[in-house]
Structure 1
């Protein structure tokens, strides 16, 4: 099965955060690192890693109760 890469706009839509916060979290090791596409000025995130990050946030919510 091939892996789908999500562009920044799709990641923003999926997780509800904007570019600056996403890159801050990437720098802090709190969000998956993007894959460089083309000449390196375009990034994509593996969809399965973004989905796993979302599922982990949901699981954490359940543990905090």
Structure 2
């Protein structure tokens, strides 16, 4: 598995984002364009593509920086 296809589970994802609740992740998927999970094992085990999560984080940083420049 390479970096583009590395999957991470919910506990790792929450640690990476420094969030506590599972519901935050699913709210971000619905409302903030957060990457959707990949079903693993008939939908019982959700995993996220780490590269997609990293790209989403970088986009939030870019948006912040663009807003700072515009101010």
Same fold (TM over 0.5): yes
User: CA offsets, 1:28-55, max 9 Å, x none?
Assistant: 3520000000121110000100000110
- The counterpart of 2:27, out of the listed 8, 24, 28, is 24
1:27, distance to aligned residue in structure 2 (A): 2.2
Paired position in structure 2 for 1:12: 14
Structure 1 stretches of 4+ with a deviation exceeding 2 A read: none
Give the secondary-structure state (helix, strand or coil) at the position aligned to 1:32.
Answer: coil
The count of aligned residue pairs is 65
Aligned Cα root-mean-square deviation (Å) = 1.4
1:15, distance to aligned residue in structure 2 (A): 1.2
Structure showing greater radius of gyration is 2
Structure 1: segments with no counterpart, 5+ residues? none
Structure 2: segments with no counterpart, 5+ residues? none
* 2:47 is aligned with 1:51: no
